[in-house]
Structure 1
């Protein structure tokens, strides 16, 4: 049977994700921004939390680990950097695999936002949980990594099947769209996407998940190798253009 993915708001702008396998009755928390919200959501569905898969160490992604483990006895799976704020049971890195029932996920190194950031790709289910590495029309701030590292990470995401649904961790899309239009103003696909986003947010609808195929057409951070963006933003190499885009986004204020 296919996985059930329950998405719900956490904190001010995070999303929580519970992934449930009806066959094995296992349930995985993808990150843990708010332990109480996760425990409540699982209890409402009669799901027993058996694992946590962390993407990176930031408190709004791993801060609920210990409380959820204390309540459920679950196994915490995470990159080594998560030990900065929480004990973990299994350290994972690029190329490792993890499972929920018969569903296998590949761990992908997407360092840049933090150096040890990972994503979890379930190819048979056409989904990837990408944390703060990439957003709808955006990417995470480069808190720890370097531009070339982050650009290489984004190439790994771009290399996934275009039909992959990207479950990113924040509702940042409206603000990201404003910068994307500034960065790539002649992109007709982006203009249509931005209009759709305005409507969805006006109706208080989430813009997550997003399909990789659409992001490849519209997300400037995934398109820094394109000649038009390199001409507009400079940079001899794509990662240099990416760095200029990321720096501009850090300082951007919509009109």
Structure 2
């Protein structure tokens, strides 16, 4: 039975990571996404008078899984991760591309998004257009290409780009201001990007997160989702989005 729109509680972890706690109204159990700071996880659970029945893992990097084992030990949480990722803490349930599974009445769709890592996945609550993108897509940016190649990363971004424009995106890090600074360096006349910059600076001044964002905003502001745009075809003198993505990602790495 569907329990309606879930409450999503964002909380800071480590230096710039975000964790998420997904909880249906009036429920006493919920789902943690990419827990890396045990104390912060306990704090968000205590504030919501809840336990973590499940843990969703997007990828194996330590800053996304460091607290998994301790949380499982305390709450007997069910760990869910990608079937092909043998570097994540031992999962109780594995999932694959396109698979739909249910927790507490919410259906999650698995989207395999290789690029940042080869086994990276996103979790999409299709009924409510909510995406947990890990380190695939950020506000105004994307993850570093540690294991993948430009072709697979661009194809992963196209999967996200095909989702409904009102999709809310919850990513793994607060990198928005640095991402915007780079984006403006290659797209300085983008008025939507300038508006995003003003808003993001205000959020920082008020010590507020710049997450979630929406896919609509990202299609207007995020250069990595616009590698197939006429503007970047001209900017990079190429009509190959994969080549443009490779050049853009390299430029960001060295920015």
Q: Partners of 1:38 and 1:83 in 2: how far apart?
A: 24
RMSD: 1.3
Aligned counterpart for 1:35 among listed residues 33, 38, 42: 38
Shift of 1:70: 0.3
Does 2:158 align with 1:178?
no
Structure 1, unmatched stretches of 5+, are none
Q: Does 1:71 align with 2:74?
A: yes
Write the mapping of 1:79-158 to structure 2, written as runs, cut at 5 A: 79-80=82-83, 82-158=85-161
Corresponding pairs, count = 252
Segments of structure 2 that go 5 or more residues without pairing to the other structure are none
TM-score normalised over the length of structure 2: 0.95
Task: Determine the C-alpha separation between the residues in 1 that align with 2:94 and 2:88.
Answer: 14
2:60 corresponds in structure 1 to: 57
Match among 5, 17, 41 for residue 20 of structure 2: 17
Structure 1 position 165 matched with structure 2 position 165: no
The one-character-per-residue Cα deviations of 1:74-115 (angstroms, maximum 9, x if unpaired) are: 100001355324111111121011222111010001110000
Partners in 1 of 2:190 and 2:118 — Cα distance?
Answer: 32
What's 1:214 paired with? 217
Query: When the two structures are superposed, what TM-score results if normalisation uses the length of structure 1?
Result: 0.95
Query: How far is 1:32 from its partner?
Result: 1.1
The question of whether the paired residues in 2 share the 8 Å contact of 1:183 and 1:245 is answered with no
